[in-house]
Chains A and B, each alone.
Chain A
Amino acid sequence: AQTVTQSQPEMSVQEAETVTLSCTYDTSESDYYLFWYKQPPSRQMILVIRQEAYKQQNATENRFSVNFQKAAKSFSLKISDSQLGDAAMYFCAPRAGANSKLTFGKGITLSVRP
C-alpha cells in the first residue's frame, strides 16, 4: 500500500511566475510510478505529468516539470510561466507497480492572479 501527503491545501501564484507544489509519499515497493493530475473547475481530471521511479532524470512536459527526490520520497511539481488556465486543483498520485491502484493525495488548490 502507498500513502501520499500534500500538506499545502492552497497556493497562489502571480501570472507568468513560477510555483512549486509539494508532495511526499511512502511506499514499500521498489518499482513504482508517480503522477500529477489536474482538476480544473470544469471537474474533468487530466494527467499533467508522470515519472517512473527507476529513472533519475526528472520528467518535463512543456511548462511543467518535477523534482523527484527518491531518497526523500518527495515528488514536487513546478509550473513555470503560470497562466490563468493553470488554476485548478492538483493531485499527486503514486502507483506502486503493476496491477495496483492509483492513490490520490488530498490535493492543492492553485489560484493564479492576473
Chain B
Amino acid sequence: DAMVIQNPRYQVTQFGKPVTLSCSQTLNHNVMYWYQQKSSQAPKLLFHYYDKDFNNEADTPDNFQSRRPNTSFCFLDIRSPGLGDAAMYLCATSRGRVAGDEKLFFGSGTQLSVL
C-alpha cells in the first residue's frame, strides 16, 4: 500500500548531539511537511517542500533544518537538540497545495527524546 513511512519510531539523543529524522513516501506527492507535536498539543508546522522549493515557517528555530534529496525522501535535521525539542515529529504529504481542500497523508511519527 502506498504510504508515508517514518523511521525510527522512537529516537533518543543527547543534549546538543545532532540528530536526523527521516521520512519517505510512495505516494509520489509533490508536497512534504514536517510538524512538531508536543504532548497534548496541536501539531505545529515547521516547514514544507513543494517539490524542491523549501518553505520555512517564520517561527521555526534555526536549529531545525530540512533536506529533500528526491521526491520520495525528506529529512529533518536538528543541529543541537535541547530539552525543549523533545516531541513527536510528524511527516505528512499532499498531492499539491493549489487546491484548498487538499488532503494530508501522515506518517506514524517519530517520538524524539533528549537526554
Check if B103 sits within 8 Å of A47, measured CB to CB.
yes
Please tell me the number of chain B residues within 8 Å of chain A, measured between CB atoms: 22
Q: Tell me if B19 is interfacial: C-beta within 8 Å of chain A.
A: no
**Chain A interface category by residue count:** 20 to 34
**Structural contact, B88 and A43, CB atoms closer than 8 A:** yes
| B interface: dominant SS | loop
- Collect the chain A residues with CB atoms within 8 Å of residue B2's CB: none
Task: Specify which chain A residues have a CB less than 8 angstroms from the CB of B86 in the assembled complex.
Answer: none
Q: Given the complex of chains A and B, what is the CA–CA distance between A107 and B43 in angstroms? A: 9
Instruction: Give the residues in chain A near B42, CB-CB below 8 Å.
Output: 91, 104-107
* Cα(A106)–Cα(B43), bound, Å: 8
From residue 91 to 111 of chain B, which have CB atoms closer than 8 A to chain A?
Answer: 92, 97-101, 103-104, 106-109
Cα(A105)–Cα(B101), bound, Å? 17
B45 in contact (CB, < 8 A): yes
In contact, A102 and B45 (Cβ under 8 angstroms):
yes
B41 at the interface (CB under 8 A from A): yes
Name the B residues within 8 Å of A52 (CB-CB).
100-101
